[in-house]
Amino acid sequence: MRLTRRFRAVLIVSTLLLVFLYSNLRNEAVSRSEKLPKHAVARQAGEEVRIQVQTPVRAPAQTRVPSQPSVNISSAFRTSIPENGAYWNRLLHSSLKRTDRGEDPLKRDPLWPHCQQTSRELIETNVHDVASYPPLLRNFLRRMTCRSPPFLVDQPDKCGGNATFLLFAIKSMPAHFERRQAVRNTWGREHLHDGGLRVRTAFLLGTASPDDPDVSALVRFEAERYGDVLQADFHESLFNLTLKMDTFLRWTLERCPQVSFVFYGDDDVMVNTRNLLSYLGSLKPSTAARLYAGHVIKTASPVRDPKSKYYIPMSFYEGVYPAYVGGGGVVISGALLRPVYSTCGAIPFFPIDDVYVGMCFSALGVSPQAHAGFHTFDIRERDRENLCTYKKSILVHRRSPQELKRIWRGIHSPLLTC
């Protein structure tokens, strides 16, 4: 009996001692593990043991849009857009007030694509008759705060280390391969022109709508083959042309920051490259530094016909449009790209892209310069077969790829007398 009691006593003491030693060893091991990086590797008894240290779970950091330089909105623009009850007018003047206070003017949601679903309740609260808006305009309202879509296809070395005098920045669509090819074969051919003036070309595409055939594989092949196709992550639509313009400005500032001039236009225009380069080369430095030129529309008002694709309801915008250059083709000084991009950052997107560009330049205090060689709305019907008319022009709008190639051959024929 005594032996049994002694054995129990020894067993209890031994157990307590083992618990004590185990506890100390465990605390020491934990202490060492807390000093290791998150995925540090510890070695024990010749084995590799990966230790994952638990860290507090934190919400993911929100991507920040780079802050825009401070902008000064011209007084002429402020007074040209009336402050009234129309939705866009209210957004603009609210943005201008925040700009004056040094705040982020548009309160942009930088996350893409989450910004594409503006609250339906917010829109219905601010636009009482939004149910009567065409579907395209309602979609625009839900996405008008979205900027900076990511690129699906990029050309980071487009301008390389060489100085680019003129960049042809062409609005196109995935299915428009024939148009792009016609431009490449004619006026948009990348070339070192007389006097060492280097011309480069880039086409900006969105993505096809869900109802269109998927040609994304062909677009990627074309981009690799020619090195001039860009594609951003937004659907092609008439009212997304404003987003396309803003995206092109952002890309140019990053990829071609030293470009002297940018021609921003459609993929169905005929451009006489030689005449355009001659015009740009003839400009005085003071004019070249503030150039925003083309076919100027001086007096224009919103289209109020609901049947028109350019229909703008009174409840959305009320007032006239500032003078602007027609969107078929516009030439912009490279020196103005950063200021106008920053200024656009304080102005809410507007559904019609050339009107919006005109607003941005008006806010910057730059007036559009008219040039008779830009025929955004075509030339007289009786002159459309006259090659000499194209020979003397800079731009003529709406020509098919076949017409474009025929005209290009004609105006460069040594047999042509004008």
Domain ranges for the chain? 151-411
- Please tell me the total number of residues recorded for the chain in this structure: 418
What's the whole-number mean pLDDT along residues 248-259? Answer: 96
pLDDT of res. 304 = 98
- With left for phi above 0 and alpha for psi between -120 and 50, is residue 196 left, alpha or beta? left
Q: Among 24-28, 85-89, 161-165, 329-333, which is the least confidently predicted range?
A: 24-28
Contact between residue 361 and residue 292 where contact means Cβ atoms under 8 Å apart? yes
Which bin fits 330, alpha (ψ -120 to 50), beta or left (φ > 0)? beta
Higher pLDDT: 26 or 281? It is 281
Asked whether the beta carbons of 379 and 403 are under 8 A apart, the reply is no
For residue 106, what pLDDT is reported?
A: 76
* Whole-angstrom distance, CA of residue 53 vs CA of residue 313: 59
Q: Are 271 and 394 in contact (CB under 8 A)?
A: yes
Question: In this model, does residue 381 exceed pLDDT 50?
Answer: yes
Q: What is the pLDDT of residue 152?
A: 97
Given pLDDT bands bounded at 50, 70 and 90, which one contains residue 108? Answer: low
279 vs 8, residue with greater confidence: 279
- Of the listed ranges 9-18, 181-190, 201-210, the least confidently predicted one is 9-18
Neighbour-count burial of 232, counting CB atoms closer than 10 A to its CB (0-12 exposed, 13-18 middle, 19+ buried):
buried
Mean pLDDT of the 103-122 span: 76
Q: How much is the average pLDDT of 381-410?
A: 98
The model's pLDDT over 41-80, given as tens digits with 9 standing for 90+, comes to 233 333 332 222 222 222 222 333 344 457 899 999 999 9
> What does the pLDDT average to over 298-319?
97
pLDDT at residue 327 above 80?
A: yes
Q: What is the pTM for the complete model shown?
A: 0.83
Q: d(Cα 102, Cα 169) in Å, to the nearest integer?
A: 32
**Can you give the pLDDT at residue 109?**
54
Q: What is the pLDDT of residues 174-197, one digit of tens each?
A: 999 999 999 999 999 999 999 999
List the one residue out of 260, 273, 282, 285 whose CA is nearest residue 164.
260
Q: Do 88 and 316 form a contact (C-beta atoms < 8 A)? A: yes
- pLDDT cut 70: percent of the chain above it: 82
Q: What is the mean pLDDT of the chain?
A: 85
Give the range among 87-96, 104-113, 315-324 with minimum mean pLDDT: 104-113
For residue 6, what pLDDT is reported?
A: 47
Closest CA to 169 of 288, 290, 285, 327: 327
CATH of 151-411, one of 3.90.550.50, 3.40.1280.10, 3.40.50.720, 3.30.930.10: 3.90.550.50
The residues with which 333 forms a beta bridge, in sequence order, are 261
60 vs 213, which has greater pLDDT?
213
**Are 306 and 367 contacting, i.e. CB atoms less than 8 angstroms apart?**
no
Predicted confidence at residue 401, as pLDDT, reads 98
Return the pLDDT at 162.
80
